[in-house]
Structure 1
Amino acid sequence: MQTDLTYLPPNLPEPVDDGACDHLRGMRMPDIVLRSTAGAMVSLSNIPGWLVIYCYPMTGPAHVPLPPGWDEIPGARGCTPQACSFRDHYQELQQLDATVFGMSTQTAATQETEKERIHLPFDLLSDEQLVFSSALQLPMHYVEDLVLIKRVTLIFKDGQLQQYFYPVFPPDKNIDAVLAYLKEQQ
């Protein structure tokens, strides 16, 4: 089993667009407050300007085993490479006046460990109670006893969804589409 989570194995199955996000376009950000890795409660509907939220299934250190068959689930593998690509382009996102968060259903404590491990300059949000994913009816992975958000990136402006990327593949290239979209809007 591949334990270097920064590496994307060849021949990963590509997810297909199953229409699970078609309802999102134009949606208003619901009045939801989530815990961040900074320990703060973040009110997403009160964030002005551009807001980028990349949702991912799960991430963690190599010593924590991935669920059985993880690499065979289309779109599951690649959370760490996706996060690192947002980290590596964070200054560009800031220059485009975008607030950035990563989000999963993992606890804020688990995410804090990940944030430190890969040196993320932005916070991650915990949707552990599935409040955000339920309100937006996001597509989910159900793996063993885990309920995980499928990889989707949402771009809001002043609380209104402007663009989403789904399915996201390969995950480490998602940042390119996000940056291109934001630059077009300038």
Structure 2
Amino acid sequence: MAQSNLLEVDWSQIPAPSDDGGAAHLAGMKIPPVSLRATDDTVVDLSQLAGRTVVFAYPRTGEPGKISLVDDWDMIPGARGCTPQTCAFRDLFAELKAAGAKHVYGLSTQSNEYQAEMAARLHLPFSVLSDEKLKLTEALQLPTMEVADLTLIKRLALIVDDGRITHVFYPVFPPDRNAGDVLAWLRENPR
């Protein structure tokens, strides 16, 4: 199935993910020292970042007009919505920063090259981190799903303070509201 419009989604037609407990262990965890390549061509180690960091993870962004990874992608709970989630973080970026986020990053298991194209196309004011080798995913035991022989991170958002996970948003649905939920939490929980 071709993905004609990645932003306009009728969420009532998409199955919502359930809380499978896959992220229950994350709050309070120290981020392990793992270096990830970013779309701005830097290397980021989330464990070394001072201050408050927002990391939102998603399975996989699509490309307009390209074929979906699998025909039933939209019917996999939590799969659809990576581009709307990312664009919502883009649109609220200034507010997130004003609410105390020193850093904002997207995260997926897609290659840096793939993500760089998406970041440029969507005019993202933040970098997206590639965990293509699953080093951070495995070290944190992030919730994942297997689709078309690929390991993909289930959609979630992390608030990280000085290298320690303070709060976890999981499951996330609908994805386009995640940035607003994160912003509300930041405003209610200043450092």
TM-score between the two structures when normalised by the length of structure 1: 0.97
Amino acid at match of 2:181: A
Tell me the SS of whatever aligns to 1:125: strand
Tell me, what secondary structure is at the counterpart of 1:112?
A: helix
Distance in 2, Cα, partners of 1:170 & 1:4: 16
In 2: Cα distance, 1:43 partner to 1:13 partner: 34
Q: 2:93 aligns to what?
A: 90
- Which shows bigger deviation, 69-78 or 140-149? 140-149
Query: Among residues 173, 182, 185, which one is paired with 2:186 in the alignment?
Result: 182
CA distance in 2, matches of 1:104, 1:129: 10
1:142 to 143, 146, 149: 146
Equivalent of 1:161, from 155, 160, 165? 165
Q: Which residue of 2 aligns with 1:108?
A: 112
Aligned to 2:131: 127
Unpaired segments of 5 or more residues in structure 2? Answer: none
**Deviation string for 1:83-134 (max 9, x for gaps)?**
0000000001111231100000000010000001111100000000000110
- SS of alignment partner, residue 35 of structure 1: strand
Deviates more, 1:142-151 or 1:76-85: 142-151
Tell me how far 1:68 sits from its aligned partner.
2.0
Q: How far off is 1:64 after superposition?
A: 2.5
User: Could you tell me how far apart the structure 2 residues matched to 1:122 and 1:7 are?
Assistant: 22
Kept in 1, the 8 Å contact 2:100–2:186? The answer is no
Question: What are the Cα deviations for residues 13-61 of structure 1, in whole angstroms up to 9, with x where unaligned?
Answer: 0110011111111001111110000111111111111111000000131
Q: Deviations over 1:128-167 (max 9, x none)?
A: 0000110110111101121110101111111111100110
Residue 74 of structure 1: aligned partner = 77
How many residue pairs get aligned? The number is: 186
- Contact 1:115/1:124 (<8 A) preserved: yes
Percent of aligned pairs with the same amino acid: 48
Code of the aligned partner of 2:44:
V
Q: Tell me if the contact between 1:154 and 1:163 (Cα under 8 Å) persists in the aligned partners.
A: yes
* SS across alignment from 2:13: coil
The aligned amino acid for 1:183 is R
Return 5+ residue gaps in structure 1 as ranges: none
Write the distance in 2 (CA, Å) between the matches of 1:44 and 1:62.
Answer: 31
Matched residue SS, 1:132: helix
Cα separation, 2, equivalents of 1:94 and 1:25 = 22
In the other structure, the counterpart of 1:12 is 14
Q: Structure 2 CA distance, aligned partners of 1:63 and 1:125?
A: 24
Moved over 4 A (4+): none
* TM-score normalised over the length of structure 2: 0.94
